[in-house]
Structures are given as C-alpha cells and as structure tokens.
Structure 1
Amino acid sequence: MSAATEALRQSRVSRGAALARLALRIGGRYVMRSPRLLFASVERRGELRHDLALRSADEVAEELGSMKGVLMKLGQMASYIYDDMPQTFRAAMSRLQDKAPPMTAALASSVIVDELGDVPERVFAQWDPLPFAAASIGQVHRAITRDGRAVAVKVQYPGIARSITSDLRNVGLLRRIVGAAFPGLDTRSLVDELGERLQEEVDYVREADSQELFARYYDGHPVIRVPHVLAELSTARVLTSELVSGATFEELLGWDQREKDLAAETIHRFVFRSLYRLHAFNGDPHPGNYLFHRGGRVTFLDFGLTKLFSEQDLAPLIDAVRFLVFEKDYEAFRAALEQAGFLRAGAPVATSVVVDRFGQFYGTVLQDAPMTITPAYSSAIVRRFFDARGPLAPYSDVPRAYVIMQRINLGLYALLGSLNATANWRRIAEEIWPFRNGPPSTPIGEAEAGWERNRAGV
C-alpha cells in the first residue's frame, strides 16, 4: 500500500486514534505554554495566544484534510456556516473547501488506468498531473480531450469509500463531534442523513446524473450555468465535465458592491428555483463550489450531495410560507411546522413563541422592501438555529428529510452575509414560489422570465 493511500487511514480504529492524538497534542501544547502565558506581559500574552490558536487551527485543518471523508466535510461546513468561529480557525478550515492535501500524480494516474483503461496522457490529448482543486472525496485535474474540448477531471481518492464507512461506523465519536459542532440538533438524524448522502457522493455515476439534471434544466439560462458531463469519460470513480474558468469567492469579495449584490441574487435564485421548480437541492453550498463572472453570472459546481424532493415533502414548507408571510395565520403556520416534523405536535409552548423562534428564518421575506443581509444577521440566524437552551429546544428538531436543506439554508445566509448583499428578497421569492408566480422584479428576473418563455416554447 502506498504512503498516499495510507494517509487516508481507512480503518475505524486508526481514524479515531488520529483524532484523539490531535486533541492530546493541542491540549498538551496549551499546558506547556501556560507558564509563559501567566508571566508574559499583556501584549506578549496576546501574541502567544494568537500563535497557539494559529498553530492549532493549522493542525486541525491539516489532519482533517489528510483524513478526507466525513470529518473533512464537517470541517468544510464549519468554515462557512460559523461566522462566530475564531478567524484563525475559519481561515484554516476554509482551505478544506478546495485546497486539501492532494494525492500524488502517480496515484491519480492509477485511478485513471483502473477506470478508463489507460494512463491519462493517452486517454486525453493533454493532461495536467497537478490538481487545481482537492477536497473531501476527490481532486480535480485540467485536461484536453482527443476532440479538443477543455475538461475538468475529478478523480476519487482510492479507499475513500472505506474511510467514509469507517467514520460512519464510529458512531459514538462521530456523534460527539457533530454534537459539539452543531449543538441543539438530534445528532442521530444529522449523522444518518449526512452519512447516506456521503455514501451516495462517492458514486460518481450518481453525481453525473445529478449534475446533468441541473445542467439540462438550466441550459441557456442568462446567469446560471452548470457544466455538462462527458459520459464517455466518466465512471464510478472518475467524473469528467466541461471546464469553466471564473473568479473564486475570495476574488468576488474584492469586487464592487453592485457585482456582489448581483452574484448574491443569482445564488439565491438558483437555490430556491432548484427547490421549488426542479424539486432538487444541491446540498454542498460551500464557497469553493462557485465560480463568478461579471454581471451576476455564476457557475455552480459539485453535485455529489444532491437531494430530490417530492411534492409531499415540499407541501408543508409551502404552507408554512403562505400562512406566515401572506395569510398571517399563525396557528396554521404552527400546524405546518408540526406536519413537517420541525415541531412536536402539542408542545406546551405558546404559538407566539413558535412564531418568534421559527419566524426569524423567514426574516428576509417578511417585508416587501430591500434588505441587506449582514454578517451579524447571518450569525444571529445560525445562533438561533443551534440554540440548545431556548424554550422550544426540547420540542423542535430538523427531520431527516430536511437536514440537507437546512444545511444549504444556513450556508446561503452565511454566504450572503459575507457579501453584505442587498435586494428585495421578498419580490425575488414571489417570482419563484409556485403559489405566487409573481412578475419579474429585477433585470435578472426579466432575463429569467424570457428564458422560461423560451423553454416553454411560448
């Protein structure tokens, strides 16, 4: 077995032991430094604490990055959802979005040989052995096909499926980690749903089908692009798609506010149009999965964590919006939450408390007016979501069917908050909600309406 393969540490015992060693190493470092902290000046004490935090964050990111799989996925989630996380840890964890430690060129080549029948230099006209992105399940290489198309080739880490299985079998450890990362949630539901989706994510055939579902639906859209899959160069462990270039999220942060607002509107439209019209949710919303172009155009990547919804799944969600936002029927709003499983039926709490607790998640659409989503607002949403001490905590939960949806909702708020995005979110939502079908409210909305007419052949 190669060193690169061993780095994945596939067994349950070895992966659990690695995390335990990491905790002891970081804890020991703080113990060793405590006398220096005690006798240092105020200024020096701050420097020492910052150095400790930075080194600890780097070690956590490096360890999770080398382990890949479930644990790295949790690190990715924490990096963009938790605005309250210390900046040193957020910065380190954000590397897990697309800059995890890659496998060697030889190991990546061996996967291509196994899956496509020959070395990549002969399968493709050109092959870049250095990956330009590496994440929790695989890494991505640039290539040129024999017929001259530029492509992105995602190559799965050998042994990653076994590593994920090992993590999921280590239920006690995993639930403790999830409980610490996401307090207030039923860890069983979150771990079970995340585990099922991750086991699907290692099947690139399934991911290719999901990506093509989105790509076909959004073909010709004025601002949303999803790269098409090249089925003839894709297998269960290799996924080849059209190569798209664009600005990263970090680069977008340096653009002017108008461009950031347009990008935010497009992401918002993609998330909710996909849910309410396509009945599909791309459950991996971290910033590394977007490429940005001027004028609000956004390319969406990585469809391994896709969740499909039925009309029955969506019915109570649509009812909740209608009753709270439009009809102001708060008892009916509560009943819709109970039907979906977010609130225990007959919970001994006043409906006004229910509206106060859950209504905050509809804050962007309660008023028909422009609203800026700030980092403080998105942080408040996350804190409210994970509040384990509120009056509704014993009676509320996220049903398994909606775990992935809530993940992307929180990710969306965090993303829009980072952009300080401003829009009349209510008007945009009314365009998309199937019970409203409102008129276009922005230039992007006008262009989208034209696209819809063309799709319908009108």
Structure 2
Amino acid sequence: MSDRNSLGGRVKRYAQVSTAVGGLAARLAGERYLGIDLDRSRHAAELTQALGGLKGPLMKVAQILSTIPDALPKEYAQELSQLQANAPAMGWPFVKRRMASELGPDWQAKFGSFEKEAARAASLGQVHRATGKDGQRLACKLQYPDMSSAVEADLKQLRLIFSLYGRYDGAIETGEIHAELAARLREELDYVREAKHLALYRRMLASETGVHVPDVVPDLSTDRLLTMSWLEGEPVMSVADAPQDVRNAVAMNMFRAWYRPFYGYGVIHGDPHLGNYAVRPDQTVNLLDFGCIRVFPARFVGGVIDLYWALSRDDEALAIHAYETWGFKNLNREVIDTLNLWARFLYAPLLENRARRIQEAATGEFGREVAEKVHGELKRLGGVTPPREFVFMDRAAIGLGAVFMRLKADLNWYELFHDLIRDFDVAALEQRQGALLDEVGLPRPA
C-alpha cells in the first residue's frame, strides 16, 4: 500500500469531502450573489457533522481555522472548534500491515511488547503503547496510509472555501494563511523532521525543570513511524478545579514551554491542542506532539518585542516599524489604529505589572469580541493581508489564552514576559538559532 501522493488517492479524497465542501461553497455563493438568506448556524453544524466523520488533514485544518480570528465566519469557527482529534482508531490488521511496511515483517520481535489497541487516535495517525527490548515504555506514532494524497486533496478544497469567503467578505486576504497551513501540514507528514523537532525542543528546554519532552528511539522510527519514550500525565483540564496555586503552577510551566523557545530561539509550538500536553502530579507539563513547529526569522521576533514597547510607550513610529518588519504594506493611520486594537488585546496581560487573569472581561470566548470589532474595521478600510507567520503565532496566543482562562490562572504575566525578553538582541538570537538548527539538522528560516 503506497503512502505517496497519488492521483487515485487524491480522487478518492475529493469524493469524500466534495459533498460537504461543495455544500458550503454553494450556500455561501448563494448568500453572496443571489441574496439567499442562509441559516449559517444550522449549515455550520451540518458541515461539522460531515467533516467529523473524516480522518486526516481537513479535520486538523478545521480545528486550526477555528482559532484564527477572521479566517472563517464566526458561525463556522464556533462549530469547527468542536471537532475532536480523537477519531476512531484503525484496527489491528491495519496496524500489523503498517508496522511491517515500516520496520519489516519481523517488527514485533523488535519490541518487548506492543499493545494492539491504540492509546490515542488523531487526525493524521494513531499512537500505540509499547515497551522496548530493554523494558523502556514507548509511544509509537503510526501515520495513516495515503496521507500525502489526503493533504493535497484537502488543501485544494480549503483553497475553494477561502476563495469563496474572500469574495463574500474581503476583510482578511487569505492567500498567505493558506500557504502557511499548506507548508505546516506537509511538514507534519515527515516524521524524520518531527524527530528533529523533538531534538530541538530537548535542547531549547534543557534548563526548564517544569517541562518534559520525549526521547526519540531512532532504530524504531522511520519517516512514517515515530517511536518515543512514553511520558505519563493527566489531561490539563484534570486540574481545572484544583487549588489556585496548582493551577497557577501548571499555567506558568505552559507559558514557559511555549514562549521560552520563541523569545530565546525564534521557535514556537503551533498546535496548543488539549491533547498535545499533559500534567504530572508535581504540576510540571509534558509536551507530546511536535509535528507543527514554526521557526521564525529573528527579525520577526524582534518585531513582536518592538510592538510591545510601542504599545507600552505609545510610540506610533515604533509600532509602524514593527508592522512593516512583519511585512504589512500600505499602512495608514486608520489601519494602524485597527491593528493596534488586536495587539492591545493580545499584549494586555503583559502590560500590567500585577497578578491578573489572562482576560478579565466576563466573556466565554478568548478574543472573539475584539476580533469581530477589528474585522469590521478592516473590512470598512478595504482589508489587509496578514503575513503568513501570524497564522501559528496567533493560534498559539489564542489557544494558550483559552487554556489559561479555563484554568483561571492568576499570574503576573508582565514578570514572566520580562524575564524572557531581558537583554533581547536580534543578532544574538539569529546566531543562537542558526547554531542550534544546524546542530539538529533543520533548515534556517528564510
């Protein structure tokens, strides 16, 4: 069974998703061009139900899009956010064939034990518990067949959705969002690259005692099978009702797990999905999935810090410099003021030197109300094209913010942030980043 990108695989995938996506296209087009009154909430629920039965990248893309402000109408974002990564697992006959294709017909002899039932099934593959010949507890992440074809087919359907929504709305030009999603999804299929991501994170977080990263077992790994040490932990929400100090400790460790790599090395974990981390009894956290990793040019990180100082000091010239560093074009006062609305929302917890919740407004969704206001203004002003780097930067900020809200974490985010950016220097970051990427065998950012 070939896992390569094939015409037959793509055609099969088109048939699977075209009904759901075609329905979305027809209805959005009807609302836009024919004046048809579309019940978006009901249609979004139907779309979610249709996509929820599929494995593969379209489900993952739907989850990602639900957390990117203005990538889709809010009715669709709210529904798609309910898609769960735990799809039904493939059965034992499938697993045996897949493992034999990766490690050879005698693959079982290479393990001390291998559990037939998957411990976790997600959008691109499933994880099995195992033990090595030496008794080490292992996690075997096995990719589903024909995922390359599925990715290409789903990305084509996604381009159709974006194209129709762009004609319908126009506040956000989605070409760069699609390009970024496409690049990251294709990378996620390469488990050799993911193994390098693990090595990268083990080095970046070596001094972080509150964060744990698995070890890779190279002899039991291929480009579609990744075998790692098994890390025990409970879901993050298992501490949602724990004492305040416990919730604060978990939130602090998660903050450092995401932002120590970003401000120290220009690297961010782009998928803060609840299934991608776990909590230990001592409130330290395990990071469990490294397929979606974004490496930023040092100048982009510098722009993030420049905008912080611009907002802190009401320095309009520095704000303009930050936006231009990221690649925003044709800026005027109204566009800058509108972008600053979103920036002030994201940076708000970092601008106050006191313990506080990540969001103090009494709202159930992190950022949705602000995003809608920004969206309306950008639409009125003719729209903008967000740089592609923003897709996973925004996703990390919004995803983590939502978790911090659910934990009701009460921390001095200002102090945590300033501890990370103290003595920041773009040239030093670029040198440090380049040396580490060379060491683990990953390409430097353009």
TM over 0.5: yes
Gaps of 5+ in 1: 3-7, 27-51, 438-458
Secondary structure of 1:139's aligned partner: strand
Does the 8 Å CA contact 1:178/1:191 hold for their aligned counterparts? no
CA distance in 1, matches of 2:347, 2:94: 47
Shift of 1:430: 0.4
Shift of 1:89: 4.6
**Paired residue for 2:354?**
369
**Paired residue for 1:214?**
201
Does the 8 Å CA contact 1:377/1:417 hold for their aligned counterparts? no
Shift of 1:122: 2.2
Q: Spell out the pairing of 1:386-401 with structure 2 (5 A cutoff).
A: 387-391=374-378, 394-401=382-389
**Paired residue for 2:110?**
123
Corresponding letter in the other structure for 2:392: I
Does the 8 Å CA contact 1:193/1:400 hold for their aligned counterparts? yes
Shift of 1:346: 3.6
Shift of 1:260: 1.6
Distance 1:298 1:257, change over 3 A: same
Whether 2:415 is the aligned partner of 1:414: answer no
Q: Spell out the pairing of 1:293-312 with structure 2 (5 A cutoff).
A: 293-312=280-299
The C-alpha deviation readout for 1:190-249, integer Å capped at 9, x for no partner, is: 111101110010000001101111023323531111111111111100000110111113
Shift of 1:396: 3.7
Distance 1:353 1:85, change over 3 A: closer
The C-alpha deviation readout for 1:19-53, integer Å capped at 9, x for no partner, is: 258879x9xxxxxxxxxxxxxxxxxxxxxxxxx97
Shift of 1:319: 1.5
**Paired residue for 2:20?**
19
Q: Spell out the pairing of 1:45-124 with structure 2 (5 A cutoff).
A: 60-61=48-49, 63-69=51-57, 71-77=58-64, 89=79, 92-93=82-83, 95-96=84-85, 99-118=86-105, 120-124=107-111
Residue number among 265, 284, 298 corresponding to 1:278 in the alignment: 265
CA distance in 2, matches of 1:175, 1:269: 34
Does the 8 Å CA contact 2:120/2:128 hold for their aligned counterparts? yes
Whether 2:367 is the aligned partner of 1:381: answer yes
Shift of 1:120: 4.5
The C-alpha deviation readout for 1:400-440, integer Å capped at 9, x for no partner, is: 13322121111111111222221010011000014369xxx
Distance 1:376 1:14, change over 3 A: farther
**Paired residue for 1:442?**
none
Residue number among 342, 360, 376 corresponding to 2:345 in the alignment: 360
CA distance in 2, matches of 1:171, 1:23: 11
Shift of 1:132: 1.0
Corresponding letter in the other structure for 1:14: A
State TM-score, norm by structure 2.
0.79
State TM-score, norm by structure 1.
0.77
Distance 1:252 1:123, change over 3 A: same
**Paired residue for 2:143?**
156
The C-alpha deviation readout for 1:315-369, integer Å capped at 9, x for no partner, is: 22221122222x4323322331133134x34425276555444322211111111
Secondary structure of 1:390's aligned partner: helix
Does the 8 Å CA contact 2:306/2:322 hold for their aligned counterparts? yes
How many residue pairs get matched? Answer: 400
CA distance in 2, matches of 1:190, 1:329: 29
Whether 2:305 is the aligned partner of 1:349: answer no
**Paired residue for 2:132?**
145
Residue number among 244, 251, 256 corresponding to 2:231 in the alignment: 244
**Mean Cα deviation higher: 199-208 or 346-355:** 346-355
Does the 8 Å CA contact 1:373/1:416 hold for their aligned counterparts? yes
The C-alpha deviation readout for 1:359-384, integer Å capped at 9, x for no partner, is: 22211111111111248467352343
Distance 1:306 1:314, change over 3 A: same
**Mean Cα deviation higher: 284-293 or 328-337:** 328-337
Secondary structure of 1:302's aligned partner: coil
Shift of 1:113: 0.7
Does the 8 Å CA contact 2:214/2:288 hold for their aligned counterparts? yes
Whether 2:156 is the aligned partner of 1:169: answer yes
Higher relative contact order (CA 8 A, sep 6+): 2
Shift of 1:302: 0.7
Secondary structure of 2:410's aligned partner: strand
Shift of 1:91: 8.3
CA distance in 1, matches of 2:405, 2:164: 26
Distance 1:15 1:115, change over 3 A: same
Distance 1:252 1:394, change over 3 A: farther
Runs of 4+ deviating beyond 6 Å = 21-24, 79-82, 84-88, 177-180
Shift of 1:107: 1.1
CA distance in 2, matches of 1:299, 1:193: 26
Distance 1:270 1:188, change over 3 A: same
Shift of 1:310: 2.3
Does the 8 Å CA contact 2:55/2:87 hold for their aligned counterparts? no
Gaps of 5+ in 2: 3-7, 28-40, 426-446
The C-alpha deviation readout for 1:283-303, integer Å capped at 9, x for no partner, is: 111111011123430001111
Does the 8 Å CA contact 2:346/2:397 hold for their aligned counterparts? no
CA distance in 2, matches of 1:272, 1:209: 19
CA distance in 2, matches of 1:90, 1:420: 24
Residue number among 297, 314, 323 corresponding to 2:301 in the alignment: 314
CA distance in 1, matches of 2:147, 2:166: 24
**Paired residue for 2:430?**
none
Corresponding letter in the other structure for 2:248: D
**Paired residue for 1:44?**
none
CA distance in 2, matches of 1:259, 1:179: 44
Distance 1:253 1:199, change over 3 A: same
Shift of 1:273: 0.7
**Paired residue for 2:320?**
334
Does the 8 Å CA contact 1:281/1:405 hold for their aligned counterparts? yes
Shift of 1:16: 3.4
CA distance in 1, matches of 2:95, 2:68: 31
Corresponding letter in the other structure for 2:405: G
**Mean Cα deviation higher: 171-180 or 253-262:** 171-180
Does the 8 Å CA contact 1:370/1:424 hold for their aligned counterparts? yes
Does the 8 Å CA contact 1:373/1:421 hold for their aligned counterparts? yes
Secondary structure of 2:116's aligned partner: coil
